[in-house]
Amino acid sequence: MEIIIAKNYDEMSRISAEIIAAEVRKNHDLTLGLATGDTPVGTYKELVKLYKEEGLDFSKITTFNLDEYVGLAPLHENSYNYFMKENLFNHVNINPSRVYVPQGNTNDPEIFCEWYENKIKEAGGIDLQILGIGRDGHIAFNEPGSSFASRTRVKALYKETIEDNARFFKKEEDVPRFAITMGIGTILEARKILLIANGKKKADVCAKFIEGPVTSMITASALQLHCHATVVLDEEAASMLTRTEYYNWVRDNKKLVQKKIGR
Ligand code: F6R
């Protein structure tokens, strides 16, 4: 895992947007996996800026969102579909026919999940998957105890996740108890992974998933099994890591090594 520590949320957002933009520039047909939540809002703002100021071209990319609440229609203001339109899709030249977000109000979640997995395969797999992390260590909605082999399915949300997400709803009772989510197995098949996290409340879980043992109790620790995972944290989220000096040294000297080998 490559660990990049940014000064603050804004720098984390700029660095992560630049990592995504570099992949889009390299591969116009990129298949991009997307996350919702507070964390990537700044990253999406930066991507919109790159589209408006530099003409970063999203017209040929395909996107797959990680998850969606069961029971919420795409137009519901708390749906992740709505979130994506508000924060990214409505502001860049993305082709709506290449955008996939799990359908929360499907009549048959099981068939839908199988269809979603097939769509990802048909698109040639995910090239770069963006992730946030929950306080309980979840990635997408793979709550503690999720199998590392899991695929897209319906998952019951953990108490902590419901509490955390209540801020988006009028009251906690309104937070759906279930979500359709890509599995850990689905996520680990992405060619590259970029996880972003900020704030003190993520410090403990970031130290655990980066420097602790691989365990399904912290599903983000599965990223230790991935050969191309990058983590961008702000200083607060990185504050409980024990090897900060090493990560910073690697980051600063990476350019030097690349220069030496002529990249
Ligand atoms: C959302 C998702 C979740 C969030 C996580 C962190 O699509 O997959 O795993 O990334 O719950 O949420 P925030 O960013 O709101 O702290």
Share of the chain above pLDDT 90, in %: 94
Distance from the alpha carbon of residue 259 to the mean position of ligand 1, in angstroms: 36
Catalytic residue among 46, 117, 127, 136: 136
Instruction: Compute the distance between CA of residue 236 and CA of residue 224 in angstroms, rounded to an integer.
Output: 21
In angstroms, what is the span from residue 248 Cα to ligand 1's centroid?
26
Handedness of CA 27, 128, 207, 221 (dihedral sign): negative
Q: What percent of the chain has pLDDT over 70?
A: 97
**What pTM was estimated for this model as a whole?**
0.96
Show the CA angle centred on residue 105, arms to residues 104 and 106, nearest 5°: 95
Domain, as residue range, for 171? 2-260
* DSSP 8-state symbol, 62: E
CATH of the domain at 79: 3.40.50.1360
What SS3 class is residue 129?
A: strand
Task: Give the C-alpha separation, 254 to 130, whole Å.
Answer: 22
Residue closest by Cα to atom 4 of ligand 1 = 132
- What is the layout of strands, in order, in the sheet containing 128-131? 2-6, 229-234, 192-197, 128-131, 31-34, 62-65, 99-100
Mean pLDDT of 95-115: 97
Identify any residues that bridge with 33 across adjacent strands, giving them in sequence order.
Answer: 64, 129
Ligand 1 nearest atom to the CA of residue 131, by list position = 10
Total number of domains in the chain: 1
Q: What length does the chain have? A: 263
Q: How confident is the model at residue 262 (pLDDT cuts 50, 70, 90)?
A: low
